[in-house]
Amino acid sequence: MKLFSFKGGIKPDPNKTQSTVLPIAQAPLTSRYIVPLHQSVGGTPRPTVQVGERVLKGQRIGEADGWISAAVHAPTSGTVVEIGPHIIPHPSGLATDCVVIEADGRDAWIERTPFDLDQAEPDAVRDYLRDMGIVGLGGAVFPSHVKLSVPRGKQVEQLIINGAECEPFITCDDRLMREQATEVVQGSLLFGRLLNAGKVLIGIEDNKPEAIAALKEAQQQLEAPLEIVTVPTIYPTGGAKELIRVLTGKEVPGSRRSTDFGVQVFNVATVQSAWRAITYGEPLISRIVTISGAVGEARNWSVPIGMPINVLVKLAQPRTDMDGVIMGGPMMGFRIPATAAPVIKATNSLIVHAPGLFPPKPAELPCIRCGSCAQACPQELQPFELYWWSRSAKFEKLENYKLFDCIECGCCDFVCPSHIPLVNYFRFAKSEILAEQREQQIADAARERHEFRQERAEREKREKAERLAKANAARKAEGKDLSAAALSPSPKTAPANDPDAAPDISSHPDQASTPISMDNHPVLDATAKQAAILAATERARLKREKHAGKSRDTTH
Amino acid sequence: MPANPAIPLTDQLCDVIVSSETPNTLTQSPYLVQPVSVTRIMLKVLLALLPGIAIYTWLFGPGILVQLLLATTTAVIAEAVFLRLRNRPLQPALSDLSAVVTAWLIALSFPPLGPWWLIVLGSAFAIIVAKHLYGGLGQNPFNPAMVAYALCIVSFPAIMSQWPHPLSAGGLSPTDQITAIFLPERIDAWAGATPLDHLKTTLRLATGNDNLTVQNILRDHTIYGVGGGNGWEWVTLAWLIGGLWLVQQKVITWHIPMALIAGMGSIALGFWIVDPLHYANPLFHILGGATLLGAFFIATDPVSGATTPRGKLIFAAAIGVLAYLIRVFGAFPDGIAFAVLILNMCVPLIDMYTQPPIFGEKSRGSNA
Amino acid sequence: MDGILYAIAIMALGGVVLGALLGYASTRFKVEGDPLVDKIDSILPQTQCGQCGFPGCRPYAEAIAKDEADINQCPPGGDENIHKLAELLGKEYKPLSEEHGIEKPKQVAIIDEKVCIGCTLCIQACPVDAIIGAAKQMHTIAEDLCTGCELCIPPCPVECIHMVTVVDTPDTWKWQKPGTASRVIPIIPVMATIQSEHA
């Protein structure tokens, strides 16, 4: 098969052999699991359990909120002891709502029923996968069911199953392909069928010969109509757009979806977990996590989602001088803010850091515009220009240099002779721009609502004036009726439509004083209202005093 | 805590402590870096200059080594003083070797037996005015070495044009050479000109004399040799070797040297075809003067040069054309310096209009 | 003599043609509304709080455009807005005028629903219709619509509205600029979290 290449890319030391020697191990049960509700791109799932409720392994504890969202499930059986904010593995170090489960040690499953694919409508399959919490396990955690719906009129020519795993240290997909090759192949076929794909390709970097052999064997046994393609080891071949380019020669711009070009990409672990969900009725409650770095025993673990990272890391015998844990790889990962944070669906790798694990980063020097970064950029951007404008916070300029096409792969940082933290600048600029856009949206909405409100106030005033004029005219007409006994009823309506009627009222003092309910009503009402409010204020004061005695934090 | 005996209490083992002191290297990815640095790049440039310097020394005597030393010392001292004045740390800026590269390029483009104060003035001006007053490394819009050259050739045109005859070093012994540098008033027997300068002056004097064609001049004067000048062709060859090594080492890309040579070659070819009697052949221009030094070492300065691939081509080709026009029709012996400075001014514009298409923007492969 | 007449004729003809062209352009490319006011208005934060002394952001924008108000009277917009306005209008930057208020982090109003008496006064005060409720019914604030203008606080007879600062979530959190601030990621001592969770 003809392969293509993308420009740029780097070849860092892979550091993969340490963790591929041992097979995947099952992480032992622990006493507490912290399951964040928001684990995938999109809406935050709503909790479906309450504190104190007993849950079974695999029971849904958070249901998807909206189309782009995926459910979360209990990783083991036990009791929900808390639903509240806990620190999650996120660079911000912020806490979000988590369901905390105290395990009962029985690890008892809910009833699992396989999904009957043959009877189901396509939409039902997608809903099912959403409710089983299937999301992209390559690290992006995008809900898979969304990617399984192809826009109308588009046809998926090639379905690409991403087993490239290009980032150093990470081997979870490698071990999975070696040990669960049959399930990976079946999962790939399943997605090929769901997408009605013309061709299914599994792309694997050539530094994983065992995984390739295992998959080929499984393919032969199953006589599976798919192709296993070995691709050269260049970071970041595992990036979706780069892998599409390598396998199909198609280039998907940052602003477009790959389905527009007839391609869709899923990670190997994603298709395997989806296949298990369909075949065995197992929701996504665990994933494979590589633990390597400064540890005594680097290997892959099958870890329940929600297991505290410190508990897990301890199993790998970390070095005593460890000073941090990095989630993800050394190119795109981040240091987790607290090791008490749980393993989430995005946790593909944990690198235990100790001094000396990574080469020391030399001091930052000024940019000399040597262009190395531009040569290394797989997205063919001009990182030194982006850096220039990010640093001076001229965000509008960054539009011209396509900041949002940056995939933050870190190739530019890697080759920079001045050791400038380029990607850090791009992350900073991106989040500033997004925040500005959000603020602008909020401001626009507020302006619109304010203008609408003013318009309504004006209209109400106008209508009130018209009503008054109408009433006035009616009275006038009545007066005329009395004096000039018999006349047609038509003048009754005529003045009401007259726009001049409104100023008329105020200019005639005798009419303003006419004791008709319309004018006096609000006055009466206002006095009554005043009294009511006074009474209510008094009531509220009493209530508040009573309240303050009970709980201090609700009112202040 | 309602502990269940069935559960191994792994929780109790979780005294895996993350120290509260955040090591700076850990704040954000990527954590891996290639062992490259500005210092290494500059060091390679210096290494690539060595063959040329060796031949230069052989041709013109040890005077050039004194000039290199003077320029380097002045540049480093000026750099240190200005870093201090600007309240910047001396390290790592001082050891990045960028000042040394500038100094060497100045020494190699100045006359090898020029007076000491000339090279000191040039080096100091390059570092202080052309580099630090613009904000230091990475901020200078103009090539510092060429700014120094331009300043000196405008201010002291006579001294800047005095080149000893190669091979004999103007007939001066090494001691005489050093005297010439430090006590210029004692020695004045060696005055000469570069082949380029000589050709231009001779042609200018020859107006009306039909015998004095370029071919005749080149043939009749020993100064010219086979290529760019007697002895000069060896220096030129050494620049070429050093430059090709830089390309091979990926310190520079092929774009600028290629386009510069092509630019100069094609305009020289044009004039030569039209009037071979009064215009030297393209090879003479490519091998003569500072063309190859400029193509591989001066125009390739990344800070002040164009950076996009297409931009580099335009930038360098324009330097080649402009340098030819200046050296043939202008008042100065060579045009590389002024051509580089003029194109330095155009760099922002060139870069802006030559932005390469990004991934997915071009109709490459089988894009729909 | 003829030359002069020709010259005059040509100039006159040119004048007529160009005048017609300008006249046509002015009707053809007529700009509706005042673009400067729109530009200023788009910079203002649209809290409609009135702290600037004008009844809303647009009136303030109009006042700035007419040079009747200074650019430093908008506390919610803060320093950043003053810089933007200064740049747009080519004026000198000046710090926020203190008599108009101080810059605060973004806030939203919260109604203490236990205390609310349903008087609708706050609904009438809200410039962006972010408060939902009816007479004698409890009111509540749609947080994502609230601009934090604080206009609902004074009318409340039972003081049941207070302001809370909006906190960052992982989705709205921003990366810091490298090298500028001390980028300390909060590190929570492991044992401390576990103990507090168990407490």
What is the pLDDT at residue B225?
Answer: 61
To the nearest whole angstrom, how far is the Cα of B344 from the nearest Cα of chain A?
13
How far apart are the C-alpha atoms of A12 and A9, rounded to whole Å? 10
Question: Smallest Cα–Cα separation from B339: which of B136, B128, B150?
Answer: B150
* Contact assignment for B302 to A370 by CB distance below 8 Å: yes
pLDDT given at position A522: 44
**Across the interface, do A382 and B307 touch by the CB < 8 Å criterion?**
yes
Cα torsion angle, B303, B309, B314, B319, sign: positive
Q: Which chains have 3+ CB pairs within 8 A of A?
A: B, C
Nearest residue, CB atoms, A536 vs list C144, C145, C157: C157
**C117 backbone dihedrals φ, ψ, rounded to 5°:** -105, 0
In this predicted structure, what is the pLDDT of residue C150? Answer: 87
Strand partners, A96: A86
Question: At residue A451, what is the residue type?
Answer: E
Nearest CA in chain A to C183: A92
Probe site for chain A from C122, C128, C136, C196 (most A CB atoms < 10 A):
C128
- At residue C125, the pLDDT reads 87
**Alpha-carbon dihedral A129, A131, A134, A136, rounded to 10 degrees:** 100
Task: Say if residues C149 and C108 touch (Cβ distance below 8 Å).
Answer: no
- Average pLDDT of the residues in A204-219: 94
Token pair, residue A272, equals 């395997």
Chain C residues bordering chain B (beta-carbon distance below 8 Å): 178, 183-185, 187, 189-191, 194, 198
> Are the Cβ atoms of C178 and B28 closer than 8 angstroms?
yes
Q: Which of C56, C77, C100 is the last residue of a domain?
A: C100
Distance in angstroms (rounded) separating the CA atoms of residues B143 and B340: 8
Q: Angle, nearest 10°, between helix axes B116-125 and B98-109? A: 140
pLDDT of residue B170 exceeding 60: no
Q: Is there a cis peptide before residue B30, judged by omega within 30 degrees of 0?
A: yes
The beta-strand segments (E) located in A164-269 are 199-205, 227-231, 263-267
φ, ψ of residue B21 to 5 degrees: the values are -85, 120
Contact A443 C197 (CB under 8 A): no
- Amino acid C198: pLDDT: 40
pLDDT at A504: 42
CB contacts of C189 in chain B (<8 Å) are 17-18, 20
Q: Do C194 and B14 touch (CB under 8 A)?
A: yes
In whole angstroms, give the CA distance from residue A459 to residue C119. Answer: 23
Q: What's the pLDDT score for residue A518? A: 41
pLDDT above 70 as % of chain A: 86
Q: Chain C residue closest to B13 (CA)?
A: C191
Does the structure show a pLDDT above 50 at B15?
no
% of chain C with per-residue pLDDT over 70:
87
In chain A, which residue's Cα lies nearest the Cα of B301? A370
Enter the pTM of the model.
0.82
CB C136 within 8 A of CB A535: no
Nearest Cα of chain C lies from the Cα of A442 at a distance, in angstroms, of 8
**N- to C-terminal Cα distance for chain B?**
61
- Give the percent of chain A with pLDDT over 90: 58
> What pLDDT does residue A291 have?
95
- Going by pLDDT thresholds of 50, 70 and 90, the confidence category of residue A555 is very low
Torsion of Cα atoms, B231 then B236 then B237 then B238, to 10° = 100
CA gyration radius for chain B?
26
Strand order across the A54-55 sheet: A32-36, A95-103, A78-87, A54-55
Per-residue pLDDT at C189 = 39
**Range B184-209 average pLDDT:** 66
Radius of gyration of chain A from Cα atoms? 33
Strand partners, A161: A202, A266
Confidence class for position C66, pLDDT limits 50, 70, 90: confident
The string of pLDDT tens digits covering residues C15-33 is 999 999 998 888 887 766 6
**A424 lies within 8 A of chain B by CB:** yes
pLDDT for the residue C45: 87
The range of the structural domain enclosing residue C39 comes to 35-100
Q: B11: nearest CA in chain C? A: C194
Domain positions in chain A are 17-27+114-351, 376-474
Is the same domain home to C68 and C93?
yes
Q: Which residues in C lie closer than 8 A to residue A82 (C-beta atoms)?
A: 197
Highest mean pLDDT among A152-156, B12-16, B335-339: B335-339
pLDDT for position C14: 94
> pLDDT: is A552 or A37 the higher one?
A37
Mean pLDDT, to the nearest integer, of A243-249? 93
Phi-psi category of residue B356: left, alpha or beta, with phi > 0 → left and psi -120 to 50 → alpha: beta
Give the position of tokens 């970097």. Answer: A205
Domain with residue C71: its CATH number is 1.10.15.40
Phi, psi of A228 (to 5 degrees): -105, 115
| pLDDT higher than threshold 60 for residue B10 | no
**Closest CA of chain C from B13, distance in Å:** 10
Q: Do C194 and B11 touch (CB under 8 A)?
A: yes
A127 phi/psi in degrees, rounded to 5: -60, -40
Question: Which segments within chain B are labelled E, that is strand?
Answer: none
Give the pLDDT of residue A111.
92
Question: Average pLDDT, stretch A354-372?
Answer: 87
| Tens-place pLDDT, residues C120-142 | 888 888 888 888 888 888 888 88
Nearest to B201 by CA among B323, B337, B333: B333
pLDDT exceeds 50 at position A130: yes
Tokens of A209: 């010969």
Average pLDDT over residues B66-93: 89
Longest Cα–Cα distance in chain C: 108
Candidate from C178, C185, C198 with C-beta closest to B1: C198
Alpha helices in A43-150 (DSSP H): 122-131, 144-147
Answer yes or no: do A443 and C46 touch at CB < 8 A: yes
DSSP letters, A265-312, are EEEHHHHHHHHHHHHH---S-EEEEEEEESBSS-EEEEEETT-BHHHH
Torsion B289-B290-B292-B293 (CA) sign: positive
In this predicted model, which residue has the larger pLDDT, B323 or A393? B323
Residues C163 and C129 in one domain: yes
Domain boundaries, given as residue ranges, for chain B: 37-192, 231-352
Q: Count of A–C CB contacts within 8 Å?
A: 131
Contact A251 B253 (CB under 8 A): no
Mutate which: C177, C191, C198, vs A, most A CBs within 10 A: C177
pLDDT recorded at residue C192: 36
Q: CB-based contact (8 Å) between B16 and chain C?
A: yes
Over residues A149-156, the mean pLDDT reads 84
Residue in B363, B362, B366 with CA at minimum distance from that of residue A244? B366
Q: B1 and chain C: CB distance < 8 Å anywhere?
A: yes
Number of A/B CB contacts below 8 angstroms equals: 222
Query: Residues with Cβ < 8 Å from A336, sequence gap 6 or more?
Result: A89, A309, A324, A325, A326, A327
Residue A386: per-residue pLDDT:
93
List C-alpha distances in Å: A404 to A246, A383, A434, C22.
Answer: 22, 12, 10, 42
* DSSP class per residue in chain C: -HHHHHHHHHHHHHHHHHHHHHHHHHHHTPPPS-HHHHHHHHHS------TTSSSSHHHHHHHHHTT-S-TT--TTTHHHHHHHHHHHHT----PPPGGG------EEEEE-TTT-----HHHHH-TT--EE--TTS--EE-TTT-----TTTTT-TT--EEEEEPPP-TTT--PPPTTTS--------HHHHHHHHH-
Question: Does the pLDDT of residue C194 top 50, yes or no?
Answer: no
* A96 pLDDT above the threshold of 80: yes
Same structural domain for residues C94 and C122? Answer: no
pLDDT class of A340 with cuts at 50, 70, 90: confident
Residue found by looking up tokens 């030391």 in the block? A13
At residue A391, the 3 state secondary structure works out as: helix
pLDDT of residue A93: 81
Cα–Cα distance, A178 to C62 (Å, whole number): 69
Stronger pLDDT, B202 or A375, i.e. the higher one: A375
Tens-place pLDDT, residues A478-515: 776 665 555 444 444 444 444 444 444 444 444 444 44
Q: Does residue C27 form part of some domain?
A: no
Average pLDDT over residues A218-229: 92
Burial of A111 (0-12, 13-18, 19+ CB in 10 A): exposed
Under 8 Å CB-to-CB from C27, ≥6 apart: which residues?
none
pLDDT of amino acid A354: 87
B17 touching chain C per CB within 8 A: yes
Q: Which of B285, B284, B269, B302 is nearest to B336 (CA)?
A: B285
Give CA–CA dist A287/A303, Å, rounded.
5
Q: Are B65 and B171 in contact (CB under 8 A)?
A: no
User: Chain A within 8 Å of C48 (Cβ-Cβ)?
Assistant: yes
What number is the average pLDDT over the span A62-89? 92
Residue in chain A closest to C194 (alpha carbons) equals A340
Mutation target among B20, B31, B249, B352 for the A interface, most CBs of A within 10 A: B31
| Window C:53-72, CB contacts with A under 8 Å | 56-58
CA A440, CA A458: separation in Å to the nearest integer? 27
Q: What is the mean pLDDT of chain A?
A: 85
Rg of chain C (C-alpha set) = 27
Residue C182 in domain: no
Class of domain A17-27+114-351: alpha beta
How confident is the model over B90-147, as pLDDT tens digits?
Answer: 877 788 899 999 999 999 999 888 889 999 999 999 999 999 999 888 889 999 999 9
- pLDDT, position B123: 95
Torsion sign (Cα): B1, B7, B13, B18: negative
Question: What percent of chain B is modeled with pLDDT above 90?
Answer: 40
For residues C39-66, give the mean pLDDT: 88
Cβ pair B228, B195 in contact under 8 A: yes
- Spell out which residues of chain C touch residue A453, defining contact as CB-CB under 8 Å: 127-129
CB contact under 8 A, C187 and B22: yes
Measured CA to CA, the distance from residue A163 to residue A137 in angstroms comes to 11
**A368/B14 Cβ within 8 A:** no
